[in-house]
Structures are given as C-alpha cells and as structure tokens.
Structure 1
Amino acid sequence: MPAVIYVFTLCAFAIGFTEFISIGLTSTLAENLHASVAQVGLAVTFYAAGVVIGAPVLTALASSWSRKRLLLVAMLAFTAGNVLAALSTHLPLLLSARLLSGLAHGVFFAVASSVATRLVAPERAGAALSLVFGGVTVAMALGVPVGTWLGSVLPWQWIFALISTCGLVGVLGVACWMPAGAGDLASSGPGWRQLPVLFDRRLLAGASLPLLAYTGSFALYTFVTPLLLQVTHADIRGASAMLLAYGIGAAIGNLVGGRMTDRMGMDRASLWLLAGIAAVLEHFYLIPIHIRLPRSSACSPAPRTARLPRQCSATAPARSAPPPFAAAP
C-alpha cells in the first residue's frame, strides 16, 4: 500500500475520535461550561451539520481544486477547529469549533475515499478503502470510552489539543507522501453547476435510509454517558467498559454487515440491520419498567425483575415509588 493510505488512516482516526469524544465528555463539558446536558448535546448536532454541509456542498464547490490541495485545507481546518475547541471558555465558541471540525470531516472523507481507490490497482481498491475507514472504526471503539475516562483524569481542553496534534501530523503526512495530481478529476466547469444533482429525487431517497438509521442510533448514543452516570449510577470505569463494548460491537457490525451484504444483497441486509437497531432501541425503552424489588418491601414475593406497582398488597404501607433504574439496597 502507498504510505499516504496509512496517513489517511491516521487522519480518519483523529477525525473519528473528535467526532465521538464529545459524547464521552458530555457530563464534563456541561459542568465546566455551566450548561445543561441537552445544550452540550448540540456539540454533536453542530458537528453533524458541518458534515452534512461539507461532504456534498463544499466538495462540489471545490471540484476544480486538486485533491491534494483540498485534503490539506480540510486537515488544516480540522486542526484549527480542535485548537479552537481546546481554547473554548463558553458553549457558543465550542459549538463554532465543532461546526468547523464537522465541515473538515465531510470534505476529508468525500475526497480521501475516492483518492485511496485511485492510488492502488483496482483489485486492491476495497482493501485500501477498508484501511481508510478502519481509522474511524478504531475511533468508534475507543473514542467514547477513552474520552469518558480521560475526562476524569485530564482537563478536557488537553484532549482536544492532543487531537489537534494528530491533525497536524496528518497535514504533514499528506503534504509529504501524497503524490501531486493523485486522484484529480477532469474539470467539468465551476463547482456550483454540480449542486443541482444534490436534489435528485433518487439520490435523496437513497440518502434517507442511512439518515434515519443514524438518527435513531445516535439519538441514544449522544446522551449515553450521562444516562450511565446519572441514571444507572455507574462509575467512570463501568461506563467506559460499557461504551468500549458498544464500540467493539460497532467494529464487529461493520464486518458482519459487509458479509451480509455480499450474501443477501444490500436491500435485505439493510432491512435486517435496521430491524436490529429498532429492536435494541425498543429494549432500552422497556428497561425502566423492570426494576429490582427492595428486600425489605412489604410486597408479596415476586421475581427479581417483576413490575413493581402491581406486586404490592393493598395493606402495604404507602411509600414513594423508586425512580427508574433504582438499585436494590
């Protein structure tokens, strides 16, 4: 593999890490920036908005640029966004930094994935692409749990500073090892002329599928850290272990999903995977219904995970119901 492919992997890891790190730092950021968890959750929203704008719109507008120049600008913007995040003292500045990083994310992956397949022989294009996106897979497995743990031992500003250092290394790697003219496309006129294709009905219909899938998945994942710490009362170590398990599951899911697609076809595989996501999210909704009974309760004997209100006798003394996820004494 050309050396620049591994540079892309490093860049993808840094970008993926900063994408997921704010999820692991949600509680820490809310406390330090004097904002609510819901407000800090906007850091994920602003980042996603940047990706949505960067990938199709900015990439199309810069279609006349060389791919090397575009990747260098994207990584410089990514580095600047993380430096700005490290220097943030209030929420609006952090949100601006996240938007800038998201714009760079969208441009980088739209360009790097295309360049990677053109730098190798056609029979190795899949391997090159898997290396590039392997950086994101590793970041998903490590970003949130490591971020949650680092947020408890280091100032959160240092974490964004470390990510910006990785981004700077990526800039130097692209500048040194990416061949000039690699992946460049024949000019097709000004970039703005390509924008109408973004409103193609078939393209929008196809894009709606991952849009809805990611919305359902990340609606939970964005707030999973405060959910674990504040609702289930897990400690940092336990929360990090659960998030690491999620990341490992995501990595395995990428492999399984690819094999399912090869064997079953994209439509059937997507249907099964989406059904699995829906089932898991429904399971999370039902979890508060089943809670442990206090051992000193006047309730009649019941299974350890029975529904609490219907198990108590009419003569039992009145007591306030425990909150969802309450642990047994």
Structure 2
Amino acid sequence: MTQDNRTPGETRRVHIREVGPRDGFQNEPETIATADKIQLINALGQAGFTRIEVASFVRSDVIPQLSDGVEVLRGIDLPGNVERMVLIPNSKGLDNALRVRDFFEDAALFVSASQTHNKKNINRTIEETMADVKAMGKRILAEGLKFCAVIATSFGCPFEGKVPMKRVLDLAEEFAEAGATEVGFGDTTGMANPAYVSQFFTAALERLPQVDLTAHFHNTRGQGLANAYAALEAGCTSFESSFGELGGCPVPAGSTGNIATEDLVNMFHEMGVETGLDLEKVIEAAREAQTILGRRLTSHSIVAGPVLWTPVAH
C-alpha cells in the first residue's frame, strides 16, 4: 500500500526501491565491471532491500553502461523475497527482456509528462509512447509480471517549465487503466519543492486509490529529502533512491543525482519510520560503490555514518 492508513499509535512504515544499479550507474562515464555490479547488488540484498532496479533494456549504443543487463540479471544472487525490476523503453526492449523473463519480476514502462522532454529522451510524442505502453502492458501482464509505470518530469520540465498536475495525473490514470499496479512520479531534473509535493501527492492519492504511488526525487537543487518528507506527510509510503546520490537524467546537462538512499533511510529511522533496512549495511554498500567508482560520492551518510545515540546519565 502507498497510502498511510495507520491506526492511531501505529508505527509508520515505508518501502524503498534502490535504483542505483540502473538509474545511478547510467550516467557514469567509466565502464563499471559486470562483476562489480553483481557484487554490489548482492550487498544491497543483504542490507534488506526487497525492491531493486537491476537493469535496463535500452539500446547498448544509447547507454553503453547498461549493456550488460542480461549478464547482471543472470549473475546476481538475491534473497527470494527481493523483487527485481527492469526498465523497458519500447517494444523491442520488451522482446529482449522477455528472453530472460525468469530473472526479474517487475517491468517498468515510462513516459515523460513533458512533450519536449519525451521527444528529446526517446524521440517520440507522448501519444506515440502511450499507445506503445498499452500494447506492452498487455504482454507484461500476460507473462505474469508486475506492470510498473514511471512518469518523468512530473514536477517540472527544464524545457517547458511547470508541468500541469492534471496532465501528470491523467497519464497516471491511463497507465492504471492499462493495467499498471504501481505508478512512480519522477522529479527528473530536481524541480520539485515541498509545498507542491504535498499538494501533488494529496491529489494523486485521492484520485488513484487503486494503485501504489511511488515518489522519485532528485537532489539537483538540494531539496530532495525535504520533498521526500513532504510526500510522506501527504500519505505516500513508497520511495525510490540511489546509493551515493548517483544518477541523473541524460537530458539535459546539469541534472544531478537521485536522493541518496543512505540519507533517506537515515532520515526515516531518525523519525521513527520503519524501512526494514539495516542502515549500517546500506551505508556499507554505498561506500562499496564509492570504492568501485574510485571517487568520493556526495551523500552525507557515507561521510558521517548513522547517528549513534548515547544515553544521557541522570
């Protein structure tokens, strides 16, 4: 469930999908070894994640970093309760994904709420994309897979500016009618603010009670955690984030990474919100990613670690 339906006094709980292995790595210029990806994903599984975005079936010439997706899917060894998600851009990508259908459970299809961004990103109109989505959704469901939807630029577009909320929620409803059981709203270039996020998720949860709603924020302008808090307070309990604050949109330049998973988990734990994750192991995985990349990553928890409370003597 994504809406907060707790009884009074009940502990809040959220679900976090780690997207670093796909969204986090896609913009990295240095080729990351397949074995390193597999080792890192396995470490994430040991940290308690039950949802991980593992690979993408985009063309290898478009995003070479993700060209080893099949090898990664075949090589990882995760606990049986972990849902493995793959991102699928089009029907050709779905054809390729279904050849290894036994190695993942969740299939994510995406569109941008901005016409300009959609054309620059995948060279299609929104209408063309949604027509393909509906056909692919039927195939995904027929395979017994979970059909997840992603709407990019849900909170603003660097080319068009403000994106109308109605347009975003109309697209979400189209996805739901096509069979999607989860819709993720992406702040693709970090243009959201907490006040608007609160309004947005209040409206989205009211309009789409039949599907799980997921918040995906980027920290491009330093408001990522504040936006996650605003979404939580509005009733959203499903989030996506990336270790080390890695990631970013390939279009346009300057769109920096996702909110750091370890920072998000630390914030929730400090608030008494359960995640089901071992924070120290989450931080260890982020530090492992930092070692693999050979450079310092930008999350705060990699440096500071978790807050360690010392009992006060009376």
**Same fold, TM exceeding 0.5?**
no
TM-score by length of 1: 0.25
Q: Greater share of helix residues, 1 or 2?
A: 1
TM-score by length of 2: 0.26
Q: Which has the larger radius of gyration?
A: 1
